[in-house]
């Protein structure tokens, strides 16, 4: 009588079962994530301005170095990154401290109120800001003239347009970062504050000597996220100022969009996309190395 071969197959089937369940995910992941990224990398080395597309190693990447519009978009993006992100994170830190204070009543309401801008859709939020900053009938200029100040052409002058973008981004993302920082604040032991208070430390001293150092890893996390988000900035310049006036609010991603989906220059758009990814990686590594410190590395 021959032994039943089924018991020999069962261990193999048992080991293979998890992979069979994961197969649909890996298939979709490969089709909709891995393949587009790999294909766009190949596109960045193709001349897509002629038919058939031909391999030209320097056609797109060489153009990046000489393209004044690309450098203008990069400069605008870097200006927003350097000015808006630190201001936003400073406001977010102060909000997080206020949210955790025992003096604040209705904490849940205020946390939701400041987080709510992120819940709004991009189109209505941008439309509201276009109305607020409208030169002729915007409520902001109405308030300025009411107190004797001149009205400002927020959407049709270079510097005011950039300021408008920064204000809109700060309004939308400050509450989001405050909630993240609040989670870090809640992990700080209360005994540290009690000991510092007994030693005679003031509230300001406790903030700078305890809160900020203990929040360092979470601040780094929000800093990296905000940096990557700013390098991917598209919604506000495109919907509020339409990248104007005169490309004054053009960013890397709006320029990428125009090259890829307005001019159908997919090769050059892919080169811009990879340049954004490289810049984001460089900034993230620098921030972790310079700001993170040993606490984050451990």
Structural domains of the chain, with CATH: 6-55 (no CATH), 67-297 (1.10.3720.10)
Strands (E) in the chain, as ranges, are 46-47, 54-55
> Which whole number is the average pLDDT over 181-190?
92
The model's pLDDT over 13-24, given as tens digits with 9 standing for 90+, comes to 778 888 889 999
The model's pLDDT over 267-295, given as tens digits with 9 standing for 90+, comes to 999 999 999 999 999 998 988 887 765 55
Residue (of 52, 161, 176, 156) closest to 113 by Cα position: 176
Rounded CA separation 279/298 (Å): 25
Average pLDDT score, the chain = 90
Rounded CA separation 254/73 (Å): 8
Residue (of 272, 257, 232, 269) closest to 65 by Cα position: 272
User: Residue 51: pLDDT band by 50, 70, 90 thresholds?
Assistant: confident
Model pTM score: 0.88
The model's pLDDT over 220-240, given as tens digits with 9 standing for 90+, comes to 999 999 999 999 999 999 999
Rounded CA separation 298/296 (Å): 5
Strands (E) in 46-171, as ranges, are 46-47, 54-55
């Amino acid at each position: 009588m021959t032994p039943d071969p089924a018991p020999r197959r069962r261990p193999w089937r048992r080991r293979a079962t998890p992979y069979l369940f994961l197969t649909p995910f890996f298939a979709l992941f490969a089709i909709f994530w891995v393949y587009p990224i790999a294909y766009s990398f190949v596109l960045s080395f193709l001349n897509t301005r002629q038919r058939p597309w031909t391999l030209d190693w320097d056609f797109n990447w060489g153009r990046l170095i000489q393209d004044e519009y690309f450098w203008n978009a990069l400069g605008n993006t870097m200006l927003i990154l350097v000015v808006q992100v630190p201001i936003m994170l400073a406001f977010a830190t102060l909000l997080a401290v206020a949210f955790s204070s025992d003096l604040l009543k209705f904490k849940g309401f205020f946390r939701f109120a400041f987080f709510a801008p992120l819940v709004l859709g991009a189109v209505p939020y941008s439309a509201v800001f276009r109305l607020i900053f409208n030169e002729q009938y915007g409520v902001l200029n109405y308030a300025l003239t009411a107190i004797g100040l001149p009205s400002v052409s927020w959407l049709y002058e270079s510097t005011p347009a950039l300021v408008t973008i920064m204000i809109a981004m700060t309004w939308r993302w400050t509450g989001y970062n405050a909630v993240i920082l609040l989670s870090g604040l809640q992990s700080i032991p209360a005994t540290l504050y009690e000991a510092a208070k007994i030693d005679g430390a003031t509230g300001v001293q406790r903030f700078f000597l305890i809160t900020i150092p203990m929040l360092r890893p979470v601040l780094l996390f929000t800093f990296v996220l905000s940096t990557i988000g700013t390098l991917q900035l598209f919604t506000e310049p495109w919907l509020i100022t339409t990248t104007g006036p005169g490309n004054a609010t053009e960013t890397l991603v709006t320029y990428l969009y125009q090259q890829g989906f307005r001019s159908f220059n997919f090769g050059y758009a892919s080169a811009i996309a990879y340049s954004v990814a490289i810049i984001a990686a460089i900034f993230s590594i620098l921030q972790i190395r310079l700001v993170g410190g040993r606490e984050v590395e451990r």
